[in-house]
Chains A and B, each alone.
Chain A
């Protein structure tokens, strides 16, 4: 994987940059020593590492603004970083760039029950928001499996999901506002404690922009009242296909469960051995279906789902009888990644989305690919919304297994696109899927996106090398090539 060629002048000006930053930051806020820098060399995609020029740890928005202004002036690249759990290398440092680490933005600023929202600095963890309001029976809905660690600013930048986003939406559907610092150092506020801001929806386009458009310093999130009743069910099936059909039928019957997850045999066994969630070990596919809402509704739906399961050949059914049991069921699912890490030296997690009806075709093809590459693959699947997480198991110490895993992963994502799906459901493009973007987008599609990037960051110094396979200069992209057009008059009907 190639990163943009580092600019030697910037590297040579490192000391000058440090001097400028030192005028308003303490020495503790500027990390320069090699050992400490090592901690920032990669994010959750540990296959890639790069030592940054510096790491800077701002404490407030004014400092972020000043840091960006200086970097803009000196043409220094900036890589924003939240908790560094990105699985697509979004926070991978650059040799000629600083890492702007938002860890000190760790305060919840306002809990506003009347307006059903919380205002938090961007470094606050996802789970901390829920913890701050749960004593009053509230919670923040998006719950990525990394929620104890990942930051709300990172969630905004990746538009993160979780196991409940089928019913409750992704980050983008659950935030009301942000404070954002542009690469020039200018600070803007988008949205607030209300629903419909005026003019173009900048909040919407910032969400999921992978740190390429601005630095998020503060986020206003919606909080919801916890449902009256929540139950989780386990349904075991003799094959993936029946499990897939069961999911389709639940949804076709008009039920939107709070979550539907599917795990294949390898994932079931690994999770069960790892954390003893009580999963049945004699089935090929396991569904976790969670239903929440008023008691009467939950009771009714459990029955319906049980029947659908039966009609699709389920061989195992269990419904949680206490909250403890329900959480244990989820603990198994949420620990699926580390559990697979336990049975294999390394794993590589993919994240394509497919139309659900293509599930069986995709799984069959994946089995073939697994044979072809000689690597095992386990599947956990946000089955309700078609978001696949195949985990390719490999050993980086064995020659070429890492390359093979990468190729295998790329084949899976191309397959997702081929059946009408997309490259990423929730983990983002980052550096990981960057070079696959042309498999999904045409040149026109990509150019339009890059022009938008130019509107925010004309010099292209904010997180370059991520998301786009080819970097064009904004001036070049902005040129308007006019071709002689003719009004297709006679052919056009008119009224």
Chain B
């Protein structure tokens, strides 16, 4: 294995980028490589990690803002936030089960990969919480974007572009992000005796009800065993999460039971059990054991049809989150190419995305990690990449289709 350079601050990283530019060398950039399984494999001359640039720079809970260096771990940040009863509302969870490693996510990695969890449909994803950053572009220039306040329209919102760019535009060195109060109480209502159609109907009603459920997921029977929890019923399991103060959660649970689930048997998962199950859902662990994993993001009205298509295809396991707007799905390698093309073409007309999160290289190369895009859009994306990294020194090829 190639050695990995560990710059200790942003100036050292800028120096390294300058070297790469003048010597025409490329750089593979990572945090702790916890999500290295995403994207095409990067062939770079030098490996560099931001994991030595660590530390929280500024945190004042009443301002709802934290600023930290790129390599600070997600766990450290969560610990510090928890002490102040705050959290990252977009619910990032480690993807280590998916990528079979136990490395710790860095905060820059969380944003560069635009992670988000089950609260996505209400709280947004990483991109909705990044307020500003310092980074080094492919010209070895240190620049900043955004700021340290929660409301700001000064200049282009480059934070959005950086989230989900997987280290292909710039190297993040410092990040400012929004933090929010954490709920005191979390309870999950579990319903087992609904078929998929009924369950989806209920989830979608709840998604627009004033009960403000913050998690709406559905687990078909087959994958329950993947969750180390006591959900053991047949049929499919609907999970409905309520969060807030005790008074608020209790009132909403009561109303849920009387107005939405009166004839149904409902069991409740309190605090810790609840946390555990949503952590699993947010990190794709119910399907993580599959060699091929995709995430579909679709108009929720298509969820039923999609679930039927998936069942028809067989040989795959899935669960649904965000009230039907997301499917995590695990496939076997046999027929994966054919099946992926099938989902993608079924989505093409209606809109939706199907991102390949994990697969052996030959499958990634055949179907692409992203669906084929409009040509104009593709060339615009290439021009954007060039505007940040004209010599293509950062993570070359990680997101490219035409390799």
Most chain B C-beta atoms within 10 Å of own C-beta, residue among A228, A294, A491:
A294
Q: What B residues does A451 contact at CB under 8 A? A: 387-388
Q: What A residues does B295 contact at CB under 8 A? A: 196
The segment from A3-11, A403-411, A424-432 found at the interface with B is: A424-432
A297-B244 in contact (CB<8A):
yes
- Given A297-B247, A492-B7, residue A444 in contact with residue B142 (CB < 8 A): yes
Residue from A173, A205, A387 in contact with B156 in the complex, judged by beta carbons closer than 8 Å: A205
Q: What B residues does A480 contact at CB under 8 A? A: 21, 139, 390-391
A428-B299 in contact (CB<8A):
no
**A-B contacts, CB under 8 A, total:** 313
Q: In whole angstroms, how far apart are the Cα atoms of A112 and B67 in the complex?
A: 39
Q: What A residues does B124 contact at CB under 8 A? A: 169, 173
Q: What A residues does B163 contact at CB under 8 A? A: 201, 204
Q: What A residues does B156 contact at CB under 8 A? A: 205, 208-209, 449, 452-453
Q: What B residues does A204 contact at CB under 8 A? A: 127, 157, 159-161, 163
- Given A115-B300, A428-B153, A486-B19, residue A173 in contact with residue B144 (CB < 8 A): no
Tally of chain A residues near chain B (CB < 8 A): 108
A188-B128 in contact (CB<8A):
no
Report the minimum CB–CB distance from A30 to chain B (whole Å).
27
Q: In whole angstroms, how far apart are the Cα atoms of A33 and B325 in the complex?
A: 51
Most chain A C-beta atoms within 10 Å of own C-beta, residue among B7, B65, B297:
B297
Q: In whole angstroms, how far apart are the Cα atoms of A495 and B103 in the complex?
A: 15
Q: In whole angstroms, how far apart are the Cα atoms of A93 and B12 in the complex?
A: 45
B154-A440 in contact (CB<8A):
yes
Residue from A198, A442, A452 in contact with B355 in the complex, judged by beta carbons closer than 8 Å: A198
A116 interface residue per 8 A CB criterion = yes
- Given A138-B208, A488-B15, residue A494 in contact with residue B151 (CB < 8 A): no
Tally of chain B residues near chain A (CB < 8 A): 109
Q: In whole angstroms, how far apart are the Cα atoms of A485 and B354 in the complex?
A: 41
Report the minimum CB–CB distance from A47 to chain B (whole Å).
20
Q: Which of B81-125 contact A (CB under 8 A)?
A: 85-86, 114, 120-121, 124-125
B18-A485 in contact (CB<8A):
yes
Report the minimum CB–CB distance from B271 to chain A (whole Å).
16
Residue from B155, B252, B353 in contact with A196 in the complex, judged by beta carbons closer than 8 Å: B353
Minimum CB distance partner of B60 in chain A: A357
B23 interface residue per 8 A CB criterion = yes
B52-A493 in contact (CB<8A):
yes
B6-A199 in contact (CB<8A):
no
The segment from B283-291, B328-336, B374-382 found at the interface with A is: B374-382
Minimum CB distance partner of B46 in chain A: A487
Q: In whole angstroms, how far apart are the Cα atoms of A495 and B22 in the complex?
A: 24
B6-A424 in contact (CB<8A):
no
A415 interface residue per 8 A CB criterion = no
Q: What B residues does A205 contact at CB under 8 A? A: 156-158, 160-161
Contact with A along B197-216 (1 / 0, CB 8 A): 00000001001111110000
Contact with A along B365-400 (1 / 0, CB 8 A): 000001101101100110111111011000000010
B193 interface residue per 8 A CB criterion = no
B21-A189 in contact (CB<8A):
no
Contact with A along B341-376 (1 / 0, CB 8 A): 000000000011111000000000000001101101
Report the minimum CB–CB distance from A234 to chain B (whole Å).
22
A208-B373 in contact (CB<8A):
no
A353 interface residue per 8 A CB criterion = yes
Residue from B12, B297, B353 in contact with A488 in the complex, judged by beta carbons closer than 8 Å: B12
Binding site for A on B (CB under 8 A): 3-8, 12, 15-23, 52, 60-65, 85-86, 114, 120-121, 124-125, 127-128, 137, 139-145, 147-161, 163-165, 169, 180-182, 184, 204, 207-212, 244-245, 247-248, 250-252, 255, 295, 297-301, 322, 325-326, 351-355, 370-371, 373-374, 376-377, 380-381, 383-388, 390-391, 399
30 contacts between A and B (CB under 8 A): A114-B301, A138-B208, A172-B128, A182-B380, A188-B376, A188-B377, A190-B377, A196-B355, A198-B354, A198-B373, A199-B381, A199-B399, A204-B163, A225-B210, A227-B212, A293-B244, A294-B210, A353-B147, A353-B149, A353-B152, A386-B63, A420-B148, A422-B154, A426-B151, A429-B153, A429-B155, A478-B390, A485-B21, A488-B7, A494-B3
Q: A170-B151, A173-B128, A483-B140 are in contact. List 9 more A-B contacts (CB 8 A).
A: A189-B374, A195-B121, A200-B169, A204-B159, A205-B156, A428-B153, A441-B154, A445-B145, A455-B380
Binding site for B on A (CB under 8 A): 112-116, 138, 158-159, 161, 165-166, 169-170, 172-173, 177, 182, 186-190, 192-205, 207-209, 225-228, 248-249, 251-252, 254-256, 293-297, 300, 353-357, 382, 385-387, 420-429, 433, 437, 440-442, 444-449, 451-456, 467, 478, 480-488, 491-495
